[in-house]
Amino acid sequence: MAAVTTERPVSRPLQGLESGRRRYREKIIVGSLFLCAALSIVLTVGIVLALLIPSLEFFGQVSPVEFFTGTEWAPLFKNSQFGVLPLLGGTLVVTLIAAAICLPLGLLAAIYLSEYAARRTRSFVKPILEILAGIPTVVYGFFALTFITPLLRENWLFGTPPGVFNALSAGLVMGIMILPTVASISEDAMYAVPQSLRAGAAALGATKYEISTRVVVPAGLSGIIAAFVLGISRAVGETMIVLIAAGGMPNLTFNPVEAMQTMTAFIGAAGLGDQATGSIGYKTIFAVGISLFVMTLIMNIISIRLVRKYREVYD
């Protein structure tokens, strides 16, 4: 610094061009910033390795055919069974219930925010809705167990009422938890639809309902599907709600009032059991984990692609 000023006392030099030391320092800074960004690659490789190595060992001991087609899951018992289908089925049931709540409600809420709400209403409704996304999942689990489940059990109209632990209440609460995610991304997509399309439809005499459902929703469709896919991916990956409210019993059934265990809930429960490192019980965590990871990864990639698509169309 001092050397630079004594050499050129008249005016401050064009620093980027002239000062070698400065440029050197700048290179170090940019290099370390790049390392920060590259950490995301390290993390991804870390996740893949963490999942893959124990999973390969697991599949050395248990045949993949047994794992993916077996209908009984009891890995921690003496007479161990490694059929993952009950966990997959549990995940599917809870996810379907959550999707049945969050997809229609999320889309309608997005239409409300984007097309119907007055500017002032929107400015406080949207943040309040976003609070739903900020509530810790363990709180949702408690809510499902102590509020929704008793509510369902007391007012059940179709035969056998739900048990204390059931997939239905976990799925319903999970749907509400994911609602703001679906609404927010769908609304972004609708917001990107040019105003001129709405004005054109209105000029042709379309009502607000027609503008919303036949112009805005079709035009923002790729973003809306992206929101749906991401919402489903979040439902598949959610742990605490199912761990608390859906019970801990692997159960191959499609009856939502029964207790079931999802893939995530198994991983969480196995973690609680403090498995000895290297034991088959320990490795099942990773085998189920990699199945979960691959499922969500595929959905996330689809979702990211779709978002990119609608950005390209209107940006």
Partner 1 sequence: MSTLRTQKDASTTPPVSLTSRRGWWHRTRDGAFRGAVTGSVLVGLAVLVALIVQSLVEGWPKLNWNLITSFPSSFPEKAGIQSAIFGTFWMVGIVLVVAIPIGVGAAIYMEQFADTEAWYNRFIDVIIQNLAAVPSIVYGILGLAFLARGFLNLGPVVLTAGLTLSFLVLPVVIIASREALRAVPSSILDGALALGATRWQGVSRQVLPAAIPGIATGSILAVSRAIGEAAPLLLLGALQFITFNPTGLNSSFTALPIQIFNWVSRPNVGFHVAAAAAIIVLLCITLLMNAVAIWLRNRFQQTW
Restricted to residues 81-120, the positions that interact with partner 1 (CB under 8 A) are 104-106, 108-109, 111-113, 115-116
Please give the residues from 41 up to 80 whose contact with partner 1 meets the rule CB under 8 A.
Answer: 41, 43-44, 46-47, 49-51, 53-54
| Residue with Cβ nearer partner 1 (42 or 64) | 42
The binder of partner 1 chosen from 207, 218, 254, 279 (CB under 8 A): 207
The encoded tokens of residue 22 equal 């400065």
Site pattern 267..286 for partner 1 (x: CB under 8 A): xx--xx-x--x-------xx
| Residue with Cβ nearer partner 1 (78 or 120) | 120
Would you say 86 and 261 are in contact if contact means Cβ atoms under 8 Å apart? yes
The number of angstroms, rounded, from the C-alpha of 51 to the middle of its chain's C-alpha atoms is 19
- Helices 263-272, 85-111: axis angle to 10 degrees equals 120
| Residue with Cβ nearer partner 1 (207 or 255) | 207
Please tell me the count of residues contacting partner 1 according to CB under 8 A: 99
C-alpha 38/C-alpha 258 separation (Å) is: 45
Query: Considering the complex, what minimum distance in angstroms separates the CB of residue 42 from partner 1?
Result: 10
Q: Note whether 143 binds partner 1 by CB under 8 A.
A: yes
Helices (H), the chain: 2-7, 15-18, 20-61, 64-69, 85-111, 119-134, 137-143, 149-154, 167-191, 195-203, 208-210, 217-219, 221-237, 240-245, 263-272, 280-314
Stretch that binds partner 1, among 1-9, 71-79, 145-153, 189-197 (CB under 8 A): 145-153
The encoded tokens of residue 302 equal 């689809």
| Residue with Cβ nearer partner 1 (2 or 128) | 128
Please give the residues from 289 up to 308 whose contact with partner 1 meets the rule CB under 8 A.
Answer: 289, 292-293, 296-297, 300-301, 303-304
Task: Bin 247: left if φ > 0, else alpha if -120 < ψ < 50, else beta.
Answer: left
Instruction: Give the amino acid at 3.
Output: A
Stretch that binds partner 1, among 56-64, 65-73, 85-93, 202-210 (CB under 8 A): 202-210
Please give the residues from 218 up to 277 whose contact with partner 1 meets the rule CB under 8 A.
Answer: 230, 233-234, 236-240, 243-244, 264, 267-268, 271-272, 274, 277
| Residue with Cβ nearer partner 1 (49 or 100) | 49
- 204 Cβ neighbours under 8 A, 6+ residues apart: none
